[in-house]
Structure 1
Amino acid sequence: MRRLVLAGVGLLLAVLVPAPADAAPPLWKSSVSATNTVVSRPAEGGGYPVPPGQTAPDPGSCRAGLYNSNFSESWLAVRPGTEDLVGTSKFFFEKYSTFYDFHLGSFTISNGQPLAANQVQGYDCVSTGTQDMPPSWTNNTDPNADFDTQGRVYQVTLPFNAFWANLHPNSNIAISYSDDLGRTWVKGNGGKPLEHVPNWSSLSFGFVEDKQWVAVNHVPGNRYQDHVYAAWAVYNGSTTKIRVAVSRDRGRTFSKAVTITKPNQTGPTNEFVYPAVDAAGNVYVSIAGDHPSPDSKTIYVARSSDDGVTWSEFMPVAVARQVPGCCLPNTTFRDGILEHFTASPDYPGHLYVVWEDWDGSQYDVKFSQSTDFGRTWSQPIIVNDNANRTASDQFQPQVAAGPGGAVAVNFYDRRAACPDDPAILPEHVGRQNFCVDVSLQAFKDSGDGAVPVGDNVRVSQFSWDPEQPGQTIDGIDQMACAAHSDPCTIRSFIGDYFGLAISNSYVYTLAVSTHYPSGVIGDQGESVYYQQQVLETVSRADLGI
């Protein structure tokens, strides 16, 4: 796979000519431009090939190989006070994407330029030097990242074994950190998991850890400065609980994990946890809890003012409606996480939540905020500004807050018809509400709450086809597939979320695109259009924030 760097590409450079009187209004009204840079590239590491006729690897079969196919799902963190970033993503192994065969990887990005990509060490046979499981795992998942004030970046990891049978330890929750912008990673907590399944000798049916996240107090001078907060969900077959552990020594050790959800407040099922830290060092979590409607969730937020020791009551934010089933009606990919949440680094108690909301035929992105530490929440507003003009899906939103009152929301956007482009499968050219772009909405919080600034900005240069790759290698489907099946006809995977970060000068997104040919040649004699990770950079000055 050859390296593709599209630095300095301006978006939406329209020729200023008079439009016909009956011309349709532009799909994106904003003229703000962004640069797009492909940051994914092949990385060497240990992985598990899938033998012919199987959908999962064999124990003890880990070997060195290339992570050179799909790069699905991502997160992004900016080192405070700099334009240095670390991106994290799922890296899929060789030709085995359709069997959901991946580990976590990271991207080192300095001043907007990609410098390195590598597998996160400590979870495979090559970096650990052993086939023993653990410490080697077939998979490592759910990218996330956050920096402390000294340049250390952390992520909570979910290694697991994809045997789909009662053979080996199922999974655990672990922590890793890097002091060199993601080039090398060290296991925190003395190399021990933050939590592991009760029975290490077999797959524990009904007990599943999932959807872990990290937040760090990077408030200079705060009494909890550089404390690290790890949060995750535990599914035990009948209930889902949110667990939290805290490090007060920069990741070397963590407190014993505690359960912070109470069924009498939020119901028995609680998931999609996101921790965040505000300007005063208060720690918050958002979750999606039960709602009487089977296709709806209630979003809740709780606060800890004592470093995660005790927690307030969970306060409801809004009810979010979800599409029934796994996938949007007009495609095969699995939909992602419902909501996202962050806190202001400038104003104590200023909190922002976004979510996708299904109206029965399409998704819109909604936004609510609190200026009183999560006690009360504003009436939701629709973020995507095409809501009354084109019927299409806007989904998987993220929200970030940066210095100087900057707030931004990004989301995947299907308002544009699929273009006639070599990267679009021929049968999809011209389809409505199918191909995907990335949109961004800026907000400004000057102390009274965040208000929108300008219109939605299209930050992706090219619309991309979510059902690429359509190519095969050695007859094997190359689409990333959460159903781990060949061919992948349902539950394909573009990721459950993607990255967003705000620095002093820029807003950055890290998102999937299948527009860029990989250089890996498939059975059809053409380059495979794998999912790549694209860094999209927008000037805060241009956005007005």
Structure 2
Amino acid sequence: MRTPVTRMLLSLLSTVLIISILSACNDSTNKPGQHTSTPFYTLTGGSTCVELGSHPQRPYTNVQVSHDSYLAHSEPMLVEDPHNPLHLVGGSKFFTVPAHYRFQIGYYASFDGGCTWSDGGVLPGFAKNETTSDISFAFGTHNEVYAAVLYNFKGESGIAVSTSTDGGKTFGLPVSVFDDKTGNVFSDKPWIAVDQTRGRYSGSIYVVWSYDHNGNCGYGNNCSEELAFSRSTDRGKSFSPVRLVEGSAPFCTNPTTGRPAHSTKCDAAQGIIPVVEPDGTIVLSFPYIDLMSGSIPTRILVTTSPDAGNTWTSPVLVATIHDIAGHFPHEKYRNLSLPAFACDPKTGQLYLTWADKGKKDADILFTTSKDHGQTWSAPIRVNDDPMQDGANQFQPQMAVSPDGVVSVAFFDTRLDPQHRLIDVYLTQSINKGASFLKNVRVTTQSWDPAVGAPIDEYGQQFIGDYQGLAADDHFVHPFWNDTRTGRQENFTAAVAGARPKRILR
């Protein structure tokens, strides 16, 4: 008979063994292609949607995350604890007055695999009527949770990072990354990443965003939208002065008001996403957009830094895309071709996906790079509905699990003959992005984007510009907003992950 001490030691050893096989995006300790069939959810606390040894089948349980009094929610983002797959933290816009596009950022946490959630309310430290928006999350090397947002209030605009030391149950007061009180600079779409390698820059926090200035060029754009970068080396207590790192390239020639005729500066960056490769290299992807007429196709670019942001390479052209031009036919909600970006946690292979508006409808396209973003594969189509059937696939989000399986979730109108009602679909690649498995429907009910939609400052319906996604070796967690309840609420699901294709040696 085992003594209580023996049982405790065995329990601790089991937990250590499980944690040792988990990794974040930049842990390179295991060999690619390896996989264990050991049941994954042996950590105490997993609830019914992620039971031990259980792989749920369709229809997947759709868990409503938001249960508050706010009138709408959109642009949900999600992060998973790299050392505990049952621990998830999410957030989104919480709308107070949807008709006047008034909102702040709120947050949630789950400790049972996304089956139940606590609601933390709005992030503290901001004025009641202050706008906070565009949340992104990252876990730190000491299990902190960092949340980056933009803020805008009475002509003052900036970026701030809040820190949670209790797993996302509560957040502390925001720390300023950048602040402009002149009204001349608007900071947009921040994204945060943490170096979790064991290298020289381990624990560094990186924040990137669009630094918009030089006046109004129409279409909601400034005449210069540069790529801003800042880092923290003291666990989010302070941040370095902003650096503008978009660089120059011969293909960056889009004209804007006041731009020198022969300029090749890539200062039309919007929707920048950072990843940290296993060797500590920072890679930024960003759309280079037409700031004026909207008629010049968007180019997706990447730039890299091997030294924590001290130096940067010249931007590399990944792809030229066919933009979703604001709206789909007969729809009133706005839409953008913002890409999603991720890296393989063991090999550093890079993946990019985006919505591409073809001749008749929008598809999800995908490309990959095996050489730190210097060259990219020919784009392939991810969605598997018939070509040019009129269905639109858009707002992709992507995550790569520790075992290298690539997951892409997206909005999809294929089930509605009129192509108005929206569902969430998911597909996965088990061969490093060479091909994708059959698309699976995640939502149990199609939803109407017009129901309860906030109205933005340009009179457009708003369902958000992007959704969230997290993945581990056994489950994928799409995180989206829909209107099945009669207003925009946040939902999630635990979808069984595909197994990686074995690499023969």
TM-score w.r.t. structure 1 length?
0.74
Which of 153, 158, 164 is the equivalent residue of 1:172? 158
- For 2:381 and 2:498, how far apart are their aligned partners in 1? 24
**Cα-to-partner distance string for 1:283-316 (whole Å, 9 max, x where unaligned):** 1100111469725100001111111111111111
Indicate if the aligned counterparts of 1:442 and 1:454 stay in contact, CA closer than 8 A.
yes
**Cα-to-partner distance string for 1:159-188 (whole Å, 9 max, x where unaligned):** 113xxxxxx233211111112232211245
TM-score w.r.t. structure 2 length?
0.79
Corresponding residue number in structure 2 for 1:38:
64
Corresponding residue number in structure 1 for 2:92:
89
Which of 132, 141, 165 is the equivalent residue of 1:140? 132
Secondary structure in 2 matching 1:397: strand
- For 2:461 and 2:131, how far apart are their aligned partners in 1? 17
Which of 110, 121, 128 is the equivalent residue of 2:123? 121
Indicate if the aligned counterparts of 1:483 and 1:491 stay in contact, CA closer than 8 A.
yes
Note the 1:14-413 alignment, pairs <5 A.
33-42=59-68, 67-82=69-84, 83-93=86-96, 96-111=97-112, 112-125=114-127, 137-161=129-153, 168-187=154-173, 191=175, 193-199=176-182, 203-204=183-184, 207-219=185-197, 221-236=198-213, 237=215, 238-265=223-250, 266=252, 267-290=266-289, 294-324=295-325, 326-348=326-348, 350-388=349-387, 390-413=389-412
Secondary structure in 1 matching 2:324: coil
1:468 aligns with 2:494: no
- For 1:437 and 1:249, how far apart are their aligned partners in 2? 42
Displacement after TM superposition at 1:137 (Å): 4.7
Displacement after TM superposition at 1:543 (Å): 8.9
Secondary structure in 2 matching 1:272: coil
Displacement after TM superposition at 1:229 (Å): 0.6
Which of 490, 497, 500 is the equivalent residue of 1:540? 497
How much is the aligned-residue C-alpha RMSD, in angstroms? 2.5
Which of 434, 457, 464 is the equivalent residue of 1:495? 464
Q: 1:172 to 1:140 in 2, by over 3 A?
A: same
Q: 1:390 to 1:98 in 2, by over 3 A?
A: same
- For 2:435 and 2:172, how far apart are their aligned partners in 1? 40
Displacement after TM superposition at 1:263 (Å): 4.3
Indicate if the aligned counterparts of 1:483 and 1:492 stay in contact, CA closer than 8 A.
no
Indicate if the aligned counterparts of 1:392 and 1:433 stay in contact, CA closer than 8 A.
yes
AA matched with 1:464: W
How many corresponding residue pairs?
426
Indicate if the aligned counterparts of 1:78 and 1:84 stay in contact, CA closer than 8 A.
yes
Corresponding residue number in structure 2 for 1:511:
480
- For 2:163 and 2:295, how far apart are their aligned partners in 1? 38
1:482 aligns with 2:482: no
Corresponding residue number in structure 2 for 1:416:
415
Indicate if the aligned counterparts of 1:76 and 1:85 stay in contact, CA closer than 8 A.
yes
Indicate if the aligned counterparts of 2:270 and 2:287 stay in contact, CA closer than 8 A.
yes
1:436 aligns with 2:387: no
> Which runs of no fewer than 5 residues in structure 1 stay unpaired?
1-5, 10-30, 43-66, 126-135, 162-167, 418-430, 470-478, 485-489, 518-528
- For 1:461 and 1:32, how far apart are their aligned partners in 2? 9
**Cα-to-partner distance string for 1:420-460 (whole Å, 9 max, x where unaligned):** xxxxxxxxxxx511010011110125xxx433342011111
Indicate if the aligned counterparts of 1:357 and 1:365 stay in contact, CA closer than 8 A.
yes
Displacement after TM superposition at 1:239 (Å): 1.2
Note the 1:444-455 alignment, pairs <5 A.
444-445=430-431, 449-455=432-438
Q: Identity across aligned pairs (percent)?
A: 29
- For 1:370 and 1:32, how far apart are their aligned partners in 2? 33
- For 1:293 and 1:213, how far apart are their aligned partners in 2? 24
Secondary structure in 2 matching 1:98: helix
Displacement after TM superposition at 1:274 (Å): 0.4
Secondary structure in 2 matching 1:194: strand
Secondary structure in 1 matching 2:99: helix
Secondary structure in 1 matching 2:409: strand
Indicate if the aligned counterparts of 2:361 and 2:388 stay in contact, CA closer than 8 A.
no
AA matched with 2:411: Y
> Which runs of no fewer than 5 residues in structure 2 stay unpaired?
1-46, 51-56, 216-222, 253-265
Displacement after TM superposition at 1:482 (Å): 1.2
Secondary structure in 1 matching 2:312: coil
- For 2:500 and 2:443, how far apart are their aligned partners in 1? 15
- For 1:365 and 1:246, how far apart are their aligned partners in 2? 32
Indicate if the aligned counterparts of 1:81 and 1:504 stay in contact, CA closer than 8 A.
no
Indicate if the aligned counterparts of 1:396 and 1:496 stay in contact, CA closer than 8 A.
yes
Displacement after TM superposition at 1:115 (Å): 3.1
AA matched with 1:313: S
Corresponding residue number in structure 2 for 1:128:
none
Q: Which range moves more in the overlay, 113-122 or 303-312? A: 113-122
Corresponding residue number in structure 2 for 1:472:
none
Indicate if the aligned counterparts of 1:103 and 1:119 stay in contact, CA closer than 8 A.
no
- For 1:137 and 1:483, how far apart are their aligned partners in 2? 16
Any runs of at least 4 consecutive aligned residues in structure 1 with deviations exceeding 6 A, and if so which?
A: 542-545
Indicate if the aligned counterparts of 2:430 and 2:499 stay in contact, CA closer than 8 A.
no
